[in-house]
Amino acid sequence: MQKIAIVYSFNTMKTSKIAKRISDAFGKNAVEMVNVEDVTPKQFLKFDNLICGTATWFDGELPNHWDEFVPELEDMDLSGKKVALFGLGDQKGYPENFLDGMGILGDILEAQGATMVGFTSTEGYTFESSGAERGDQFIGLGIDFETQGSKNKERVNGWVEKLKLEFQ
């Protein structure tokens, strides 16, 4: 398997924790951590397998670190790339916009031709609406530190096992 990039902001708290957990589950040598705060298109496009992580902020927004990279993303040809997403959100505090950030990012990547992998079931989450929903699945892995933090480990590990197959 080719090296996988985990792209996220190094300045985050919880997103960083999940990124580390994912990295551990793959094994250190399988992944490279990439900071979205200063990544260049060239660095991003170096990878064919990417995992992008984002929380949702401010009632359904992509955090600045991703938002500021979007104009670059929008000029990229991502066909042939496999991208998996993980998103952080709070289903109790923000049930109207649960994991929207992951959904926004997914829309952009898909529009640029990326093949999205790592969809997960929405079962086990309670919310009103989510921009990350695709049918009865989330476009990526949903993590909720605030209300379901105890499930993080199991969710991440299960997801990584699935990704190992999808990232062939």
Partner 1 sequence: MKKDRKYNIKTTDKKTLEKWFRLMTLGRLLDDRAPNYLKQAIGWSYHAPYAGHDGIQLAIGQVFDRETDHLFPYYRDMLTTLSAGLTAEEIIYNGISKDLDVAGGGRHMSNHFAKPEWNIHNVSSSTGNHTLHAVGVGRALKKYKTPGISICSQGESSVSEGYVYEAINGASNEKLPVLFVIQDNGYGISVPKKDQTARRKVADNFAGFKNLRIIHCNGKDVFDSMNSLVEARKHIEEKEEPVIVQANCVRIHSHSNSDAHELYRDDFELNYVREYDPLAKFRRLLLRYERFTDEELTVIEEEMKQVVKIAHKAGMAAPDPSPDSIHDYVLPEPYVPEKYTDGTHQFEGNPMKLIQALNETLKAEFRHNPDTYIWGQDVAHKEKGGIFNVTKGMQKEFGKERVFNAPIAEDYIVGTANGMSRFNDKIRIVAEGAEFADYFWPAMEAFVETTHEYWRTKGQFSPNITIRLASGGYIGGGLYHSQTIEGTIATFPGVRVVYPSFADDAAGLLRTCLRSRGLNFYMEPKALYNAPKAATPVPDDFEVPFGKARIRREGEDLSMITYGNTSHLCLEAAQKISEEDGASVEVMDLRSLIPLDKEAILASVKKTGKVLIVHEDKVFSGFGAELAALITDEAFEYLDGPVKRVGSTFTPVGFNRILEAAILPDTEKILTAARDLLQY
Ligand X SMILES: Cc1cc2nc3c(=O)[nH]c(=O)nc-3n(C[C@H](O)[C@H](O)[C@H](O)COP(=O)(O)O)c2cc1C
Residue 57 interacts with ligand X (CB under 6 A): yes or no: yes
Other CB atoms within 10 A of residue 168 CB: 8
Which one of residues 34, 84, 89, 133 is an interface residue with ligand X (CB under 6 A)? 89
Which one of residues 6, 7, 49, 60 is an interface residue with ligand X (CB under 6 A)? 60
Residue 166 interacts with partner 1 (CB under 8 A): yes or no: no
Which one of residues 4, 5, 7, 15 is an interface residue with ligand X (CB under 6 A)? 15
Burial of 61 per CB tally in 10 Å (0-12, 13-18, 19+): middle
Cα separation, 132 vs 63, in Å, equals 15
Which one of residues 48, 61, 146, 166 is an interface residue with partner 1 (CB under 8 A)? 61
Report the chain's C-alpha Rg in angstroms.
14
Which one of residues 24, 74, 77, 161 is an interface residue with partner 1 (CB under 8 A)? 74
**Shortest Cβ contact with ligand X: which residue?**
89
Cα separation, 160 vs 153, in Å, equals 11
Under 8 Å CB-to-CB from 33, ≥6 apart: which residues? 5, 6, 8, 10, 19, 23
56 contacts which partner out of partner 1, ligand X, none, CB within 5 to 8 A by kind? Answer: ligand X
Pick the closer one to partner 1 by CB: 61 or 146.
Answer: 61
Cα separation, 70 vs 64, in Å, equals 10
Q: Which residues bind partner 1 (CB under 8 A)?
A: 57-61, 64, 67-68, 70-71, 74-75, 94, 96-97, 107-108, 111
